[in-house]
A and B are shown apart, each in its own frame.
Chain A
């Protein structure tokens, strides 16, 4: 398998591509199955990019374009932060920064029955999982994991929420832990939730820590790992003075 991959036009992997770039030619990649991720489009034998970003490949056969946006296109199994917009008898309408509002069924909670429907006022921040994203329908989200357990999903109390880009939230979620979080976590204690839709929630005992962490995270988007560490170090040094 891997040998075949090397013969295909992989030179573009890791490179930046712009919409319209043909990234793969299927005619010389016969008898192999590939999986296309976001930002790629098939046009007969040519696979071309639809979005500008970095062309990525993951073994054995996944290709996608990595980019950072302010808008979020919902995908099943993504965890996102949503804001309650309206509540109806069957669903909560939740804003997940996507093209449509998402629906959160009132029963999509751990042990949810008609009798214990939670009450959310407009503006409540929820940590939810995207379940369905069928075209022509509003995406559906849920406050349980796949096995019906709460697993940390649900409303987020207090703390501060800010909006960044999808790229930054992906970076913060990546493993191993993002350097900025690691460095901050050594000195400060705080709680965070990152949604793949670019929303970040930070909570700590004192508002001061929340503000420090929030601003450090926002500033870290364009910094490399070392830069992040240095930035946090200097920051913490200044605070402890």
Chain B
């Protein structure tokens, strides 16, 4: 059994989160667990304003937080094998093709996009359920992409995952106590007799009755099961959680409970989140920073206000315009929306140049020839489009020509020197390329 000798010293069984312990608030408010908690406790003595106070507003961005995870040019190609006796590799599914981003400490970044865009693959790469084809994932001085499975094991406790479907992600033959306590035994962190108190403490944290550790998953409702999944992910005090569609399998009224719980956990334990979801409204609420993916690439990344208020990529604009809006009821009828023609192309044979060009109304010759770089165009805003601009104000000529040393049709200009060589770094630079003046500007 490989074991980190510091393990026991690091995590005391009764301590939930080092940061929380320091501030003297070791547990969530018991009101929180009660209010969201099990049905039998009811809501007696709880009025609307006190529950409202427990509900969270949208998470805020801490612009100075250091990065806990830096993903640089991450790639995942799955081989496609031919049929028959000799199964030769005949191609690759380019599920994730060169993405770069940073996850700030205690912050959260949202990944959105249509199914098949590679957002779940990204989550699985970061938890190292897949070994990436290329690129790096720097986490606390280790490159998760290069570690062997053996070297990975002590790091796994810092990066945990919450799964989408609480009905299939819990073993029906194990009790809740076994499920939540399993990580402690795998990593051999606490003596056997300390496992149960820790499990009960975790159940309390996620708003379940600690006495229920002996029950089986089928005795719980969907929302309660998701809480069990969250408790399991929290068992080892992770520094980062990958939440892959954590609420999409739940009923609407329960979704809000779980989102609020995740926000509580983030605030109490300072956990960073990679939040993967296709529900743009939930992502907007939970993540102050959002990356939009299309066919294995990040096409736009930025803070919430920019992505939802002034998106510059035609795909982001189309995606946002397609979301049905409750406020439309006051006006009646359907909202105007941008129609995307056709389906997402196959990631085995993606279009040349810009991958979105086959469905983009602004696409020109340059889009087929040159791939647009993920260019920083604002303090916290990057976009990968030759014709980046606000809705209704897309420029007529490509904005990227000078940077790339090409003409408006995308052919290389002889003698021109591309100005920017480092276009796809993770995180943000102090200076950026201003679309209006076509100059590099700063604060």
Q: Bound pair: A and B? A: no
Residues of A within 8 A of B (CB): none
Residues of B within 8 A of A (CB): none
